Amino acid sequence: MFGQMIVRRLFHDKGFLTQICGNDFMVLKVAPPLVIAEADLDRFVAAIRDVVEYAHTSNAFWSDAFALARRALTII
């Protein structure tokens, strides 16, 4: 659930499209363009840092995670 919440926040809050990869839900897959500026890489790293910091300091992050889990269980 943690990895999926990171993906969700990166997209909604920072505008980066990423996804969880393979069998390990703690692996983040990123597919940048073939040509990317260093400033764009810096912006992406800062976005990940901000989202992970938010996860460690915000109750809202975990409230959203539990709400997402509840919706998933309702669907199943």
In terms of Cβ atoms closer than 10 Å to its own Cβ (0-12, 13-18, 19+), residue 9 is buried
Question: Mean pLDDT throughout 11-20?
Answer: 91
Question: Mean pLDDT throughout 60-65?
Answer: 82
**Per-residue model confidence (pLDDT) at position 47:** 96
Residue range(s) defining the domain that contains residue 70:
2-75
> pLDDT tens-digit profile of 24-55?
777 888 888 889 999 999 999 999 999 999 98
Total structural domains in the chain?
A: 1
Asked if residue 61 lies in contact with residue 49, where contact means CB atoms within 8 angstroms, the answer is no
**Per-residue model confidence (pLDDT) at position 39:** 95
Q: Percentage of residues in the chain with pLDDT exceeding 90?
A: 33
Q: For the whole model, what pTM was predicted? A: 0.74
